[in-house]
A and B are shown apart, each in its own frame.
Chain A
């Protein structure tokens, strides 16, 4: 195998046959437990579906689009075999349309749940018209093997927040590719909240259809024993004067809890005036957990506003615990304070109150699980 020279040269294709079945030593699969994911690489339709519940604000529609028509939109192509298989065998793309100039005051809510059937190939397109403002909350529950391709096309000048919440049962596996295409002067926020699932791997790719766009990628994850939670981001700056900012924070507790964060940013020669920053922090609450954090920054032009990254993985700080306990605060409450504090900066940025509240409750629950 020849490693990629540049992130730009990573293969992309609609045809599953263009990707070999991964064996786990490839750069993009090296952290992933591919031996638990065999079903995801089989190039065949299963016909299985997740249960779909929607809550659509006025003006928002959900329709189905043939896969060929989706391809014809010029969407980003699948970048690995699981995504190519999902796109090829989904049987149709569920399209959420937010019309131009719409200003949604309530989020679009889509709740997907699995009941442990065959592998599901899921294929979604969120299309937000120009100058529209929309928040879409996508929730995942239950047990499923779920291969997903999600495309977000944010029209020029639109303001889009997409939240993907993974609250699967522990037996679930989820491989997803999320492509976000940021229109000219559009602002898109992609937020991944991953708390449940045996293996969850989300590849989020952002690209820009014109200058002046802004992408924010936020993530919160909490891995317990036996969970593998992986988030890979690729921000492809091809247009000039665009911004990107990525902040992912994760906590791990329990033997064999495992997280991976890979943040690739490519600033191409044409992308003058780019401003980008990415940050990943991991908090190891117990021994035996492992967090990998790999930021990559490739810069092909010197004419940029700024580019930086930060990555740190640390153990739970016993001195913080001592300080709080020395003020009378019991240990479990002190731990909760520290962990809540750790997540506070990224949670505050989510800006969707219902998601923020549920997330803090979920984090409390995760911490309480440890005490039990």
Chain B
């Protein structure tokens, strides 16, 4: 049983107009096996939360803490966080020319577990996970994200989640840009990974659509860098019918 604890997190980013505070005190606790949905309008800071947890150098944490089973995540480098059990499924995964998916997956697995996976079982695991995600075997020999369609990129992200078996996975708008078939396949992959690893999931999304396939235990509404409201799955239903207008109206307009 693991706990990812985010306490009063404040995060800034450098822009052309100067330093801008994006997260203004986020507090959230995830336990293994739980699914938390973070919903909110564009620009509310959802992705910033995801990247801050993963340690992207663009974001500066000015105060607050993130701990994984009591360990200070913010003191860890990006790769250390991944090895500690954190995973970020990216919204826009980058191309890595000349690096094949199979080489990349094996290198990542070796890094995360600290030893090279046993060849026989590894090949079987990869093949099985790819079949489950309806990915063609030839996919493994393509270069990472190079020429991938939007749907292929997201499947590839979830493939990594299944194979790397993190303690906590942050899914940053994994549903955006997917048609309903791809959404179903990807959601099944997330559910499968959760079931087999007991991972906690932080599901960041703009739409309620994916919540039909991945049941959240908690829903948090993100507005202007803070959690404006939280509740159970019923909150998602309410957002579905009402949209975010109610929250946006409460937000004071900044000069």
- Closest Cβ–Cβ distance, residue B88 to chain A (whole Å): 6
**Which of B77, B88, B96 interacts with A331 by CB under 8 Å?**
B77
Binds B, one of A94-102, A292-300, A322-330: A322-330
Q: Once the chains bind, are A323 and B94 in contact (CB under 8 Å)? A: yes
Query: Once the chains bind, are A337 and B107 in contact (CB under 8 Å)?
Result: yes
Q: Which residues of B contact A327 (CB under 8 A)?
A: 82, 104, 108, 111-112, 160, 164
CB under 8 Å from chain B, chain A span 325-346: 325-331, 333-334, 337-338, 340-345
B90 touches A337 (CB 8 A): no
CA of A316 to CA of B111, assembled, Å:
22
Point out the residues of chain A lying under 8 angstroms from B98, CB to CB.
340-345
A320 within 8 A of B: yes
Contact across chains for B79 and A325 when beta carbons are under 8 A apart: yes
When distances are taken between beta carbons in the complex, the residues of chain A under 8 Å from B56 are 322
Most buried by A among B57, B87, B96, B160: B96
Contact of A328 with B82 in the complex, beta carbons under 8 Å? yes
Q: In A297-323, which residues have CB < 8 Å from any B CB?
A: 317-320, 322-323
Residue on A with the closest CB to B103?
Answer: A337
Residues of B within 8 A of A323 (CB): 90, 93-94, 96
* Cα distance A317–B79 in the bound complex, in angstroms: 17
CA distance A345 to B100 in the complex (A): 12
Q: Is B97 an interface residue (CB 8 A)?
A: yes
A315 to B164, CA, bound (A): 30
List residues 59-96 of chain B with CB under 8 A from any CB of chain A. Answer: 77-79, 81-83, 87-88, 90, 93-96
Contact call A337/B108, Cβ cutoff below 8 A? no
Interface of chain B residues 151 through 204 with chain A (CB within 8 A): 160, 164
Given the complex, which residues of B lie within 8 Å of A328, measured CB to CB?
79, 82-83, 108, 111-112, 164
Partner of A326, one of B88, B95, B107, B143: B88
Q: Is the CB of B112 within 8 A of A338?
A: no
B residues near A340, Cβ cutoff 8 Å: 98-99
Complex: A325 Cα to B111 Cα, angstroms: 10
Q: Evaluate contact between B57 and A322: CB separation under 8 angstroms.
A: yes
Residues of A within 8 A of B95 (CB): 320
Q: Is the CB of A325 within 8 A of B94?
A: no
A341 vs B144: C-alpha distance when bound (angstroms): 10
Q: Is the interface of A mostly helix, strand, loop or mixed?
A: helix
A330: B residues at CB distance < 8 A: 79, 111
Q: Enumerate chain A residues within 8 angstroms of B55, measured Cβ to Cβ.
A: 326
Complex: A319 Cα to B83 Cα, angstroms: 19
In the complex, the chain A residue whose C-beta lies closest to that of B93 is A323
Determine the interface band of chain B, counting residues with CB < 8 A from chain A. 20 to 34
Cα A25 to Cα B117 with chains together (Å): 58
- B94 contacts A329, C-beta separation under 8 Å: no
Whether, in the assembled complex, B54 has its beta carbon less than 8 Å from a beta carbon of chain A, the answer is yes
Instruction: Indicate the member of B77, B93, B94, B143 with the most A CB atoms within 10 Å.
Output: B94
Which residues of A lie under 8 Å from residue B78 when comparing CB positions? 322, 325-326
**A339 to chain B: closest residue by CB:** B98
Contact indicator A338/B82 (Cβ below 8 Å): no
The residue of chain B having its C-beta at the shortest distance from the C-beta of A323 within the complex is: B94
Task: Give chain B residues whose Cβ lies under 8 Å from the Cβ of A317.
Answer: 94
Chain A residues, Cβ within 8 Å of B93:
323
Chain B residues, Cβ within 8 Å of A342? 97-98
B96, A329: Cβ atoms under 8 Å?
no
**Given A317-B94, A319-B94, does the pair A325, B99 have CB atoms closer than 8 Å?**
no
Complex: chain A residue closest to B83, CB-CB: A328
A93, B83: Cα distance in complex, Å: 60
- CA A317 to CA B88, docked complex, whole Å: 19
Smallest CB gap from A338: residue in B? B96
* Residue in B closest to A344 when the chains form the complex, CB atoms: B98
Structural contact, A341 and B143, CB atoms closer than 8 A: yes
A341 touches B96 (CB 8 A): yes
On whether the beta carbons of A331 and B79 are closer than 8 Å, the reply is yes
Chain B residues contacting A320 (CB-CB under 8 Å) are 94-96
Task: Determine the residue in chain A with the shortest Cβ distance to B79.
Answer: A325
**CB-CB contacts of A89-126 with B at 8 A, as 1s and 0s?**
00000000000000000000000000000000000000
Residues of B within 8 A of A318 (CB): 57
Distance in angstroms from B219 CB to nearest chain A CB is 26
- Of A318, A329, A334, the most chain B CB neighbours within 10 A belong to A329
Closest CB in chain B relative to A265 CB, distance in Å: 25
B110 to chain A, nearest CB (A): 9
Give complex CA distance A333, B83 in Å: 14
B111 touches A326 (CB 8 A): no
Shortest B56–chain A CB gap in Å is 6
Q: Which of A326, A344, A345 contacts B82 (CB 8 A)?
A: A326
Give Cα distance in the complex from A329 to B113, angstroms: 11
CA of A329 to CA of B80 in the docked complex: distance in angstroms? 9
Complex alpha-carbon distance, A46 and B57, angstroms: 57
19 further contact pairs, Cβ within 8 A, besides A317-B94, A337-B104, A343-B98: A319-B94, A320-B95, A322-B57, A322-B78, A323-B90, A323-B93, A324-B104, A325-B77, A325-B78, A325-B79, A326-B78, A326-B88, A326-B90, A327-B82, A327-B164, A331-B77, A337-B107, A338-B99, A345-B98
Q: Which 7 A-B pairs have the closest CB atoms?
A: A341-B98, A344-B98, A328-B82, A327-B108, A328-B111, A325-B78, A328-B112
Interface residues of chain A, those whose CB is within 8 Å of chain B, are 317-320, 322-331, 333-334, 337-338, 340-345
Q: List 29 A-B contacts (CB under 8 A).
A: A319-B94, A320-B94, A322-B78, A323-B90, A324-B108, A325-B78, A325-B82, A326-B90, A327-B82, A327-B111, A327-B112, A328-B108, A328-B112, A329-B79, A329-B82, A329-B111, A330-B79, A331-B77, A331-B79, A337-B103, A338-B96, A338-B99, A340-B98, A341-B96, A341-B99, A343-B98, A344-B98, A344-B99, A345-B97
